[in-house]
Amino acid sequence: MPSLSIFVLHGPNLNLLGQREPGIYGSLTLADINGLLEAEGRKLEARVTVLQSNHEGVLVDAIHGSLGQHQGIVINAGAYTHTSVALRDAITAVNLPTVEVHLSNIYRREDFRHHSYIAPVVIGQISGFGMQSYLLGLQALIHHLKKDEV
């Protein structure tokens, strides 16, 4: 039985992975990524729960609902990374270790993508490694949580 529960949140437009700008985001679908995350979680003895929403309020409510349910969060907030004080405040409010991930390197893209409202309130950010960004984020978060158990 997994001792850790990790919540993975996917923001707007990530439901279109596999067909949306594959040159930037790759050819894997969100279902592919979720399957890989769940398998990696099992290997690392953690339960992975996933949610995707195009709606900021749904993501905020999900972060609030993670209290008492999960020990950490991996979030790809998509475009909300660059616009949402509400997501930042929700992450701060629940005070759960959180890792921000992005498929593309946001710092090699348009200038408006270079700023993250989320980065200052998470334990780390991983971007630019495609689907591997999610796996690295999950691994880093679980490592962080397990070191606190010792």
Confidence bin at 148 (pLDDT 50/70/90): low
Contact 5, 49 (CB under 8 A): yes
Q: What residue numbers does the annotated binding site for substrate cover?
A: 76, 82, 89, 103-104, 113
Q: What residue numbers does the annotated binding site cover?
A: 76, 82, 89, 103-104, 113
Q: 80, 121, 77: which is closest to 101 by C-alpha?
A: 77
The reported pLDDT for the residue numbered 108 is 77
pLDDT tens digit sequence for 122-140: 999 999 999 999 999 999 9
Residue 139 CA to residue 66 CA, distance in Å, equals: 19
What length does the chain have? Answer: 150
Tokens standing for 24? 């930037």
- Has 25 been annotated as catalytic? yes
pLDDT tens digit sequence for 11-47: 999 998 778 766 666 678 899 999 999 999 999 999 9
- Has 107 been annotated as catalytic? no
pLDDT tens digit sequence for 98-127: 999 999 888 777 786 778 999 999 999 999
Contact 109, 99 (CB under 8 A): no
Q: Which helix (H) or strand (E) holds 8?
A: strand 4-10
The reported pLDDT for the residue numbered 22 is 63
CATH number at residue 91: 3.40.50.9100
Specify the higher pLDDT residue, 81 or 1: 81
Domain count across the chain: 1
Q: Which helix (H) or strand (E) holds 79?
A: none
Q: Which of 10, 70, 102, 134 is catalytic?
A: 102
Instruction: Note down the domain range covering 139.
Output: 4-149
Specify the higher pLDDT residue, 56 or 3: 56
